[in-house]
Amino acid sequence: MKASLVTSALVAVVVGFGGSVAVVIAAADSLGATEAQKASWITVLCLSMAVGSAWLSWRSKMPVVLAWSTPGAALIAASSGIDMEQAVGAFLVAAALIVLTGVIQPLGRLAARIPAPLATALLAGVLFSFVAGAAVDSVALPALGLPMVAAFLLVRLWSATWAVIAAIAAGASIVLVAGMHGTLPPVALSPPVLIVPVLDLGTALGLALPLYIVTMASQNLPGIAVLRADGYAPPVPAILTVTGALSVLTAPFGGHTTSLAAITAAICTGADAHPDPAQRWKGGIVYAAGYAGLTLIGASVVVIAASLPPELVTILAGLALLGPFMGALRAAFGGSADAFPPALTFAVTASGVSIWSVGAPFWGLAVGLLAMGLARMRKP
Note the pLDDT of residue 76. 92
Say how far apart CA 123 and CA 258 lie, in whole Å.
17
Residue 161 lies inside a defined structural domain of this protein: yes
Say how far apart CA 168 and CA 92 lie, in whole Å.
32
Residue 68 lies inside a defined structural domain of this protein: yes
Domain containing residue 136: 3-326
Identify whether the C-beta of residue 236 lies closer than 8 Å to the C-beta of residue 101.
no
Note the pLDDT of residue 111. 67
Number of domains in the chain: 1
Contacts of 210 (CB under 8 A, 6+ apart): 75, 122, 126, 359, 361, 362, 365
Note the pLDDT of residue 50. 96
Note the pLDDT of residue 28. 93
Identify whether the C-beta of residue 311 lies closer than 8 Å to the C-beta of residue 144.
yes
Residue 339 lies inside a defined structural domain of this protein: no
- Kindly tell me the burial class for residue 270, based on how many C-beta atoms sit within 10 Å of its own C-beta (0-12, 13-18, 19 or more): middle
Residue 333 lies inside a defined structural domain of this protein: no
Residue 93 lies inside a defined structural domain of this protein: yes
Identify whether the C-beta of residue 296 lies closer than 8 Å to the C-beta of residue 187.
yes
Chunk the chain into consecutive blocks of 10 residues (it has 380) and report each block's average pLDDT, rounded to whole numbers: 78 79 89 91 94 95 92 87 93 95 79 77 82 91 93 89 84 86 64 91 88 86 79 89 96 94 78 85 93 82 76 83 82 79 91 74 86 79
Diameter of the chain measured on Cα atoms: 68
What b/e string do you get for 170-195 counting C-beta neighbours within 10 Å, with b at 16 or more? bbbebbeeeebeeeeeeeeebebbeb
Residue in 378, 326, 333 with CA at minimum distance from that of residue 118: 333
Question: Mind spelling out the 3-state secondary structure of the chain?
Answer: CCHHHHHHHHHHHHHHHHCCHHHHHHHHHHCCCCHHHHHHHHHHHHHHHHHHHHHHHHHHCCCCCEEECHHHHHHHHCCCCCCHHHHHHHHHHHHHHHHHHHHCHHHHHHHHCCCHHHHHHHHHHHHHHHHHHHHHHHHHCHHHHHHHHHHHHHHHCCCHHHHHHHHHHHHHHHHHHHCCCCCCCCCCCCCCCCCCCCCCHHHHHHHHHHHHHHHHHHHHHHHHHHHHHCCCCCCHHHHHHHHHHHHHHHHHHCCCCEEECCCCHHHHHCCCCCCCHHHCHHHHHHHHHHHHHHHHHHHHHHHHHHHCCHHHHHHHHHHHCHHHHHHHHHHHHCCCCCCHHHHHHHHHHHHCCCECCECHHHHHHHHHHHHHHHHHHHCC
Residue 362 lies inside a defined structural domain of this protein: no
Residue 367 lies inside a defined structural domain of this protein: no
Residue 296 lies inside a defined structural domain of this protein: yes
Note the pLDDT of residue 87. 95
